[in-house]
Structure 1
């Protein structure tokens, strides 16, 4: 009986983490698309990939997930460049792009 309760609790925790991660990824993808539009480049593959995951404290000491996502973009349509978006909890910490050729 206790094993069942522990197993169900672990499944619920895993689902809540997955659901939260999907929300953060959705926010990051939307912000990345908008940033690419603002920079007048094309986001390739319409996809971001999780590159890193850490626990980090905010200014008041609360622990949040720090996530790093990678994406690819092109300025001319011929070359592929890499970019990175950093999320701290549900907030965008930074968006960085490799130097790229202007068309």
Structure 2
């Protein structure tokens, strides 16, 4: 029973660290895109919207995450955007009518 508890705790610890790393990659991409487009990232944060398993290009199962965030284009409004990650790699960033698709890097 102790081994099962240790495995569960180890798995949860790994998930927490992995999620922290992925979130940092997502927020960095969002900040870079908002800065390049002259947008203001509101609350300076992103929130997890979706978490699931998905296969990457190599056929390996990785965590696919979608984070949502709010930004402003005028300073007087709030708009919603999202950033999609496959593992720790940003695959798509949605800012209003503009989609930034990625093959490993943002355009």
Q: TM-score, normalised by structure 1?
A: 0.91
SS in 1 for 2:28: helix
Q: Secondary structure at the match of 2:77?
A: coil
CA apart distance, 1:51: 0.4
Equivalent residue, structure 1, for 2:57: 59
2:68 is equivalent to residue 70 of structure 1:
yes
- For 2:72 and 2:59, the matched residues in 1 are separated by 39
Runs of 4+ in 1 over 2 A off after TM superposition: none
Alpha-carbon distance in 2 for matches of 1:31, 1:97:
11
Gap regions ≥5 residues in structure 1: none
Question: When the two structures are aligned, how many residues end up with a matched partner?
Answer: 98
TM-score using structure 2 length: 0.87
Residues 84-103 of structure 1, C-alpha deviations (whole Å, 9 max, x = no match): 00000010001011249xxx
Question: What aligned pairs does 1:17-56 form with structure 2 within 5 A after superposition?
Answer: 17-56=15-54
Q: Distance in 1 between matches of 2:83 and 2:57?
A: 20
State the partner residue of 1:16: 14
* Cα shift readout 1:12-48 (whole Å, capped 9, x = no counterpart): 1110111010010011111111110011110000010
Output the CA distance in 2 between the equivalents of 1:88 and 1:69.
12
Question: Which consecutive residues of structure 2, in runs of 5 or more, have no partner in the other structure?
Answer: 99-107
Larger radius of gyration, structure 1 or 2? 1
